[in-house]
Structure 1
């Protein structure tokens, strides 16, 4: 979209907003009943055409008030009336006649939800600035939820600028929603951490009331020494992160405005061009000074992080989960920036070099005997790769390292222990682009996902499952020997594909590798052997690898055309995202098959893993495997692809 087109679009949106608002008197008349109220009633009733009585029942309001509101909306042209034989009048939205040809935005202020059919790129870009995409499906629309953290992280200097973005996105004024958003905007500006002229940290509040009723109720002597004034508390050294987390959870994010050291200047030029959405990420990070880049695997978060390094131009510490990732980061920085090998160091079990840009592991950074090396150096930027681990007790010690700029990277900032809010309090607010937008723009290829329900391979395992309990039941189902012929079948159905087969259990991995006559890569595989196997896979010398949990993250797996999940980590949404992400790339298609033993808890675990991706816009199918039908097809010489050869019943994953 050109600048002129954008200006025209803005002017058109502004005219639509003004037209929707009408005069002051008209707005006052309609405050009691809006088009959003009609849509709310329509959704509750399950149909778009309603009588006044049906609207009144759905909204639990008086017939008289509702009828007056319907008349006013009809006068404005938002509703149409139609007389029918069985009732004096029925009402329906004026836009109902051309819904298939135009964008439609429906707002539910009470639930703070926005449902959009056929949104264009402009609308989605505007919505992403203050709302979270909860469900994305190009066929049936998009559901956005406005959460407090979305408002807190909105990239605007004033609420008036944010209000303009809201009205441009919605095409109308929604006073109740705007009032709630403004209240959250104000909450995000009640507290800040600043540096006192004597060098210690002070927690400041905007008023004595908010300091007394919130901060001094939530914090104790572990966090602050003593009050300095009615609106200021002297902060204990090292408790800054805890204070930010506690007040964040209380609904009051703290603005960190301390005078942190930025370290030595380091000139960095990025040698590759950022995609438009990556530039937006970097711009928002530069404005806030902290944040978490959230995007699907393959969206280029590492390259965007190097773009952030180039903006900061300060000495940088990169924290990663493993030595393999440390090496990959070092190679990527040398390849994609103006820095040379002598300026990039690694500090871990393999080598210990602290340089202007240093990559180390979370474990090393959190160990007391190494901490002083990193504490003594003044970093301009600290990067937390795979930052979904930061809330864990082992990893969070690394967040005590202080820097003027903090950046996290994650494809899946979710945790099964519900501590994901700590990611954003310890590192920074989320910055990202919805997955469906990247799929639609062609930046990342959308994989095809299918859950395949496999029968038991033999009675022995099935009987053992029936008598087992707890995690042992899940393990038996995961290691179902009936999955071996299914994996052989899928590999044979896609003979030109490069494939990764994921397992959770080492014994299962070894057995599968032996059955398929392919290598098994696990945590027990020596680092030099890992590199050799992965390089041979990248070159195309090998087309199949069996991989344990070590492949979920911590190593840079080459992209594959086909991923087969033979067993998963009890339905972890994060693990499902990571494994599916191994097939995401800018071009080409990819297939992901998740195998689950039919009639066991593994079915529920598989659905749980993939529903999370379904809500991000990825299409997920289900299929029940019938080995007898497949065998008959093979006897008849049917060598069609798996999607056509398997006659099992197919459906989509339900929400």
Structure 2
């Protein structure tokens, strides 16, 4: 009698285990059967076939899918290479391309050449609707649905937010043969990784501008999706798929009064960190600091930390630089990024510029972006909400007033202005405050920070390591 594979709540189960797959399964004494995570489905099937073990597959519910594209755009060379690399890797892996380089079209090509039921996961509602519209235009005859944002479809091609897909992971696990993870660096989070772990999908494609995460869990992407199979930096695509661009770093100084106050605050904070053996610069260190802020001295240190960051990020010298940049690029579509909402609203008041934060209602946010795209508004100021998931090809100037610590954030913000347009010359300004943790964070991201400084006295090291707000 042939071995039977069945699916049960995001796992693959059998009642007997041949030796060729025994190391993949664990005995479930309560259910009296053998069980393995759904993501091992492909490995189990391949090893059974290699060992010539007959089996009956009652686990997978996915089948072929007919996709008739309405358009036949000529792909860029890097898109052709990315697709070929993904196929050579067994249709599993992560493609790393900068924003604006056409990652979505790589996914469409992968879907056309892997015509099976497909689940696409995205991190935001904006991206949910962006993908939905794009797929309807690309495959008008396909049954495309949504999961999230009030929709709960069950179609052969389904676009879902990560949160909704995680909530329904068990139900979706056996229905989709191809998984596409947009902004794939979101997947390794504890809540969302179950989408990949439970799914039987033999084919998986991850798309991201940079896989790096603050918790280091980008290494989990290989197990969840597959290895990085193709990668290009913005500079490698400049002038072709992406607009020509340059980056300009502008250094500003705190006033004498601001610098004195900043140094006092950092000293107060670092005394507390040293006394409590806390090192910032990691999630664990920051978590300890937050927990310790429940005490009287801890609260004083946390308030000092926040005030110091506010001085570095919001010094008036940055506003003077911003005024000059906007004057030099008068009439050009410009995006201004800050690390915090307080600075967003300050810039908005000082320069009478429309602002978008996470507090902006959805309809108002949509209206502001539409007016920016049409040219009615030339400039927008925002915090982190436009880092990903918003298509603004008209923007050619970006000014980063604060928020320079991570490579991912920098690449995302650069990507907002790299969409190709005729004659477009994009420029990103990074405005950094000297002699503060912001300068050292910028140096560290650029690879200019000297690790030998880790041998410096504890006060100096603690001051130099950046921490989240």
The TM tier, using the shorter chain, reads 0.7 to 0.9
Higher relative contact order (CA 8 A, sep 6+): 2
2:3 counterpart of 1:197: yes
CA distance in 1, matches of 2:207, 2:375: 29
Which residue, out of 464, 478, 495, partners 2:330?
A: 495
SS of 2:152 mapped into structure 1: coil
**Structure 1: which 4+ aligned runs deviate by more than 4 Å?**
223-228, 240-244
Moved more, 601-610 or 431-440: 431-440
The answer for unaligned runs of 5 or more in structure 2 is 8-12, 27-34, 48-56, 270-304, 449-469
CA shift in 2, pair 1:316/1:226, >3 Å: closer
User: Equivalences for 1:251-330 in 2 at 5 Å?
Assistant: 257=46, 261=60, 263-270=62-69, 271=71, 272-287=73-88, 288-330=90-132
User: Equivalences for 1:295-444 in 2 at 5 Å?
Assistant: 295-339=97-141, 343-367=143-167, 370-375=168-173, 378-399=175-196, 400-435=198-233, 438-439=236-237, 442-444=240-242
Which residue, out of 426, 440, 443, partners 1:590?
A: 426
Alignment coverage as a number of residue pairs: 380
CA distance in 2, matches of 1:513, 1:238: 54
CA distance in 1, matches of 2:182, 2:60: 22
Measured on the aligned residues, the alpha-carbon RMSD in Å equals 3.0
Per-residue deviation at 1:285? 2.5
2:379 counterpart of 1:544: yes
Per-residue deviation at 1:438? 4.1
CA distance in 2, matches of 1:548, 1:358: 30
Q: Which residue of 1 aligns with 2:408?
A: 574
Q: Given the two structures, how large is their TM-score scaled by the length of structure 2?
A: 0.73
Per-residue deviation at 1:454? 0.9
CA distance in 2, matches of 1:363, 1:303: 24
Per-residue deviation at 1:414? 1.4
SS of 1:576 mapped into structure 2: helix
Moved more, 548-557 or 501-510: 548-557
Per-residue deviation at 1:379? 0.9
Q: Which residue of 1 aligns with 2:439?
A: 603
CA distance in 1, matches of 2:138, 2:98: 21
Q: Which residue of 2 aligns with 1:235?
A: 25
Give 1 or 2 for the bigger CA radius of gyration: 1
SS of 1:318 mapped into structure 2: strand
CA distance in 2, matches of 1:234, 1:604: 46
CA distance in 1, matches of 2:64, 2:154: 16
Per-residue deviation at 1:329? 0.5
Q: Given the two structures, how large is their TM-score scaled by the length of structure 1?
A: 0.54
The answer for unaligned runs of 5 or more in structure 1 is 1-195, 202-222, 245-253, 613-655
Per-residue deviation at 1:225? 11
CA shift in 2, pair 1:255/1:481, >3 Å: farther
Per-residue deviation at 1:608? 2.6
Q: Which residue of 2 aligns with 1:140?
A: none
CA distance in 2, matches of 1:256, 1:422: 23
Q: Is the 8 A contact 2:182 2:206 kept in 1?
A: yes
